[in-house]
Chain A
Amino acid sequence: MNKFPFAFLDEQSKKEIRRAILKGVAIPGYQVPFASREMPIGRGWGTGGLQITLALVGKEDVLKVIDQGSDESVNAVNIKKLVQNTTGVQTTIHTSEATLIQSRHRIPEVPLRSDQILVLQVPEPEPLRRVERSEFKTKQLHAEKEYSGAWLWLFEQIMRYNQTTQGADYPVLVHERYVMNPSPIPRFDNPKINDSDALILFGAGREKKIYAVPPYTKVESLAFDDYPFEIEKFEGKACKVTGLTNVFLDEMTDEVTGETYYVCNDTSFMQEYLEKRGTVNVR
């Protein structure tokens, strides 16, 4: 274990990543290139987010890692172990206890505070990639604030399905300047990026990009005048365990009866809720 420096990365690498983060904070929504390192976890498993976490983590930090709303998935546990083994920091499943939260696919249900940092893992940072393959050209389009391609993609969805069907990674306009992929979080979480108390950082390991939404930044989901942005609605549905309705729900199938039911996607939130109510832990 001692053969690794604190937080796995050497100081030079950390400095470089921190510089990219600072630049990202200075230019909200702008994709900053960085020299993504090889990580001892598979590419596509959050190496971008992990490098941000490792560059930021200090001895006092308390770390929470979520994958698809769960703290206990293999991937979340692996990342947690790696950070813990190389730093000795505490980990938690409770959002309110964490100072540093690395996540894939969700922003926690518990509102974040200004003393917390959220790190989101990003597979595809480029919101224009679907309409423009060339990186050279997309850079130019960002520079010229030319986002017709992102709008065209939404328009095409409306033409095909009478609504924008994109469930996750729904594009946003940051600080009225850069269009950004918010990572594959559901639309439900998009409004949480707007005017957030916490700093939100985005890391794409494979694509070698870091970007940021500093606290209290205006972030709007793209929407046509006559097709307003809407979050997933779980009308008439509630979490089977907690009865909660104003949360993001997962659709499940009862293995015995074949019946469809819903539970909170954010499992630690559900657990906290049950503990507060004094109900027995469901797990």
Chain B
Amino acid sequence: MFDKPILQIKNLSKQYGKGCLHCQNDGAQLERNFCPVCKTVYACKDISFDLHRGEILGIVGESGSGKSTLMKSLYFDEEVTSGEGYLIDYHEGKENIFSQSGQQLRWIRNTLLGMVYQNPMLGLKMDFSSISNIAEKQIAAGNRNVDNMVSRSYELLDKVNIPVDRSKEPPKNFSGGMQQRVQIAKALSSNPPILLLDEVTTGLDLSVQAAVLDLIKTIQREMQISMIVVSHDLAVIRMLADRTVVMLNGQIIEEGLTDQILEDPNHPYTQQLVYSLL
């Protein structure tokens, strides 16, 4: 834990809209994250955090607090408005990832990051076979050997507990829980050091939720992969995260060891969250 962080994010901001004289003023009155004058949404404001090797960082916050926007920014689906990011595995953490070319971003995404989207439709090609979905990341990373990709995909299907004989079925035939498993297998397929998980268990039955959470813990233990786990559900965060940041209206309002935050929340909003869990 005393190593240099594997990922460092500094002052990341993402806004939807151009802003106006009203909202660009420091201390301007916003309605939550939203400018009442020009309708600009300040989805993420000045987000800074570190992710350490092998740790699971939790991000918790209510709906609309900017969690998915943050994850999409980290995966380069959304272009950040401002901010810096450093990956220890990219030029030894000396180059700001957010100022790289599209080609570089693709390379980083294909080799250093895995993403599981809140909405499986964003992460999977529903009409392609599941095995192709898993192999897609390997293809994108430059693999041109079919047999090699197939055996790697079988390995991953096995890891996420999907029977290999269903590998040729498209994800649209699968239940929500299985779709998330396919997404996890795909995210892992290029063996990235960092996995981003956005509300992986939301919308699943409780028993299915528990199984997916177990799977994530097992993967983390076996593969020593670093993870950022986003959830609006503190119970999920409690189960998975070593450290946690709490987001509200696009900002981080509290951060610390998960146990500490659960035992002794500082911010009134966090207190409210924690008490509602008890």
**Could you list which residues of chain A lie within 8 angstroms of chain B, going by C-beta atoms?**
131, 140, 143-146, 148, 151-152, 155-156, 158-160, 224-227
Give bound CA distance, A160 to B135, whole Å.
14
Which of A145, A156, A225 makes the CB contact (< 8 A) with B128? A156
Taking the nearest CB of chain B, how far is it from the CB of A32, in angstroms?
22
- Please give, as numbers and ranges, the residues of chain B lying within 8 Å of A152 by CB-CB distance: 125, 128, 132, 135-136, 139
Residue pair B146, A148 in contact (C-beta under 8 Å):
no
Which of A140, A143, A160, A226 makes the CB contact (< 8 A) with B145? A226
- Please give, as numbers and ranges, the residues of chain A lying within 8 Å of B103 by CB-CB distance: 144-146
Residue pair B149, A148 in contact (C-beta under 8 Å):
no
Using A159-B129, A160-B129, A226-B146 as known contacts, say yes or no to A148 and B136 having CB atoms under 8 A apart.
yes
- Tally B residues with Cβ within 8 Å of A: 20
Q: Which residue of B lies closest to A143 (CB)?
A: B102
Residue pair A159, B145 in contact (C-beta under 8 Å):
no
Which of A144, A145, A155, A160 makes the CB contact (< 8 A) with B139? A155
- Please give, as numbers and ranges, the residues of chain A lying within 8 Å of B131 by CB-CB distance: 159
Give bound CA distance, A151 to B102, whole Å.
20
Residue pair A155, B149 in contact (C-beta under 8 Å):
yes
Chain B 109-145: CB-based contact to A (< 8 A → 1; otherwise 0): 0000000000000000100110110011001100011
- Please give, as numbers and ranges, the residues of chain B lying within 8 Å of A159 by CB-CB distance: 129, 131-132, 150, 168
Name B153-178 residues within 8 Å CB distance of A: 168
Taking the nearest CB of chain B, how far is it from the CB of A225, in angstroms?
5
Residue pair A151, B139 in contact (C-beta under 8 Å):
yes
- Please give, as numbers and ranges, the residues of chain A lying within 8 Å of B10 by CB-CB distance: none
SS of B interface (majority): helix
Q: Is B106 an interface residue when CB atoms closer than 8 A count as contact?
A: yes
Residue pair B135, A155 in contact (C-beta under 8 Å):
yes
Give bound CA distance, A279 to B150, whole Å.
54
Residue pair B146, A158 in contact (C-beta under 8 Å):
yes
Give the tally of cross-chain contacts (CB within 8 A): 48
Give bound CA distance, A156 to B136, whole Å.
10
**Could you list which residues of chain B lie within 8 angstroms of chain A, going by C-beta atoms?**
102-103, 106, 125, 128-129, 131-132, 135-136, 139-140, 144-150, 168
Known: A152-B128, A155-B139, A226-B147; 14 extra A-B contacts, CB below 8 A, are: A140-B102, A143-B102, A144-B102, A145-B103, A152-B125, A155-B132, A155-B146, A156-B128, A156-B132, A159-B131, A159-B168, A225-B145, A225-B146, A226-B146
Which residue of B103, B132, B145 has the most chain A CB atoms within 10 A of its CB atom? B132
Residue pair A146, B129 in contact (C-beta under 8 Å):
no
Taking the nearest CB of chain A, how far is it from the CB of B6, in angstroms?
25
SS of A interface (majority): helix
Taking the nearest CB of chain A, how far is it from the CB of B165, in angstroms?
13
Residue pair A224, B145 in contact (C-beta under 8 Å):
yes
- Please give, as numbers and ranges, the residues of chain B lying within 8 Å of A227 by CB-CB distance: 146
Residue pair B144, A151 in contact (C-beta under 8 Å):
yes
- Please give, as numbers and ranges, the residues of chain B lying within 8 Å of A155 by CB-CB distance: 132, 135, 139, 146, 149
Residue pair A131, B125 in contact (C-beta under 8 Å):
yes
Taking the nearest CB of chain A, how far is it from the CB of B253, in angstroms?
36
Using A152-B132, A155-B132, A156-B132 as known contacts, say yes or no to A224 and B146 having CB atoms under 8 A apart.
yes
Taking the nearest CB of chain A, how far is it from the CB of B62, in angstroms?
32
- Please give, as numbers and ranges, the residues of chain A lying within 8 Å of B129 by CB-CB distance: 156, 159-160
Using A155-B135, A155-B139, A159-B131 as known contacts, say yes or no to A224 and B125 having CB atoms under 8 A apart.
no
Taking the nearest CB of chain A, how far is it from the CB of B147, in angstroms?
5
Q: Which residue of A lies closest to B130 (CB)?
A: A159
Which of A131, A144, A226 makes the CB contact (< 8 A) with B106? A144
Residue pair B102, A224 in contact (C-beta under 8 Å):
no
Taking the nearest CB of chain B, how far is it from the CB of A60, in angstroms?
47
Q: Can you identify 18 A-B contacts, CB atoms within 8 angstroms?
A: A140-B102, A143-B102, A144-B106, A145-B103, A148-B136, A148-B139, A151-B139, A152-B135, A155-B132, A155-B149, A156-B128, A159-B132, A224-B145, A224-B146, A225-B146, A226-B146, A226-B148, A227-B146
